């Protein structure tokens, strides 16, 4: 039944999100994913072809949800960065999956379409805002996007040793610092 298949795929994606977030691709085990999802390993290969295919599906879903639920507003990049910061705070697996993606899938011959399309759209919107005088042109659009994305993820990707050197800050204070940093970047 189609409903059962979709429910199974959803359970597999949810279980894989936890497993890949904790162990990456190399350390993840399909038997643990299948057990968490309440199905058998064969279903992973049936629906996703491979463990890498399952990881790509999980990462693609995460990127698609983020693009949909946190749309970029080139006229207010500080708030866009703050909203991304909020997503990282609410979903710590995002930073872990992004890190695993960079470490274990960086050599992809064909990048994931969702990642590429989402970033291209953001770059085009930033370029248009720069052409219209809404954003400064000091940085190329793709560079500006990278700087904003980095600021948004800064606290979730910071090494623990650096975190120990930063005074204890609340989530609201860290969020405000993201906003202030992106504002300063736009004034530079």
Global pTM reads: 0.86
Q: Which CATH architecture has domain 1-59?
A: Orthogonal Bundle (1.10)
Region 30-54 average pLDDT: 94
139: its two tokens: 């940085």
Q: How far apart are CA 46 and CA 40, in angstroms?
A: 10
pLDDT of amino acid 33: 96
Report whether 156 contacts 92 (CB < 8 A). Answer: yes
Fold agreement (1-59, 70-188): no
Q: 64 near 114, Cβ under 8 Å?
A: yes
| 100/59 Cα distance (integer angstroms) | 10
**Per CATH, the architecture of 70-188 is what?**
Orthogonal Bundle (1.10)
pLDDT tens-digit map of 4-30: 888 999 999 999 999 999 999 999 999
How do the domains of the chain map onto residue ranges?
1-59, 70-188
pLDDT at 46 over 60: yes
pLDDT at residue 18, rounded to an integer: 93
- State the DSSP string of 94-153: HHHHHHHHHHHSTT-SS--HHHHHHHHHHHHHHHHHHHTTSS-SSS-HHHHHHHHHHHHH
| Least confident piece of the model among 100-104, 173-177, 178-182 | 100-104
Spatial separation of the C-alpha atoms in residues 162 and 151, rounded to whole Å: 15
> What pLDDT is attached to residue 166?
78
Using the structure block, give the residue that is written with the tokens 């298949």: 5
CB 85 within 8 A of CB 175: yes
């Amino acid at each position: 039944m189609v409903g059962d298949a979709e429910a199974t795929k959803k359970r597999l994606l949810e279980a894989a999100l936890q497993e890949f977030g904790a162990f990456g691709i190399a350390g993840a085990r399909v038997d643990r994913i299948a057990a968490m999802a309440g199905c058998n390993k064969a279903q992973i290969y049936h629906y996703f072809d491979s463990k890498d295919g399952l990881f790509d599906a999980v990462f693609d879903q995460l990127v698609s949800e983020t693009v949909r639920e946190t749309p970029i507003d080139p006229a207010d990049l500080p708030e866009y960065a703050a909203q991304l910061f909020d997503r990282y705070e609410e979903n710590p697996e995002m930073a872990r999956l992004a890190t695993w993606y960079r470490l274990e899938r960086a050599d992809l011959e064909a990048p994931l379409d969702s990642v590429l399309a989402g970033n291209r759209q953001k770059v085009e919107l930033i370029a248009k805002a720069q052409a219209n005088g809404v954003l400064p042109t000091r940085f190329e659009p793709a560079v500006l996007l990278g700087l904003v994305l980095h600021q948004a993820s800064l606290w979730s990707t910071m090494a623990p040793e650096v975190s120990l050197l930063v005074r204890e800050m609340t989530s609201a204070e860290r969020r405000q610092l993201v906003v202030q940093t992106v504002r300063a970047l736009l004034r530079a």
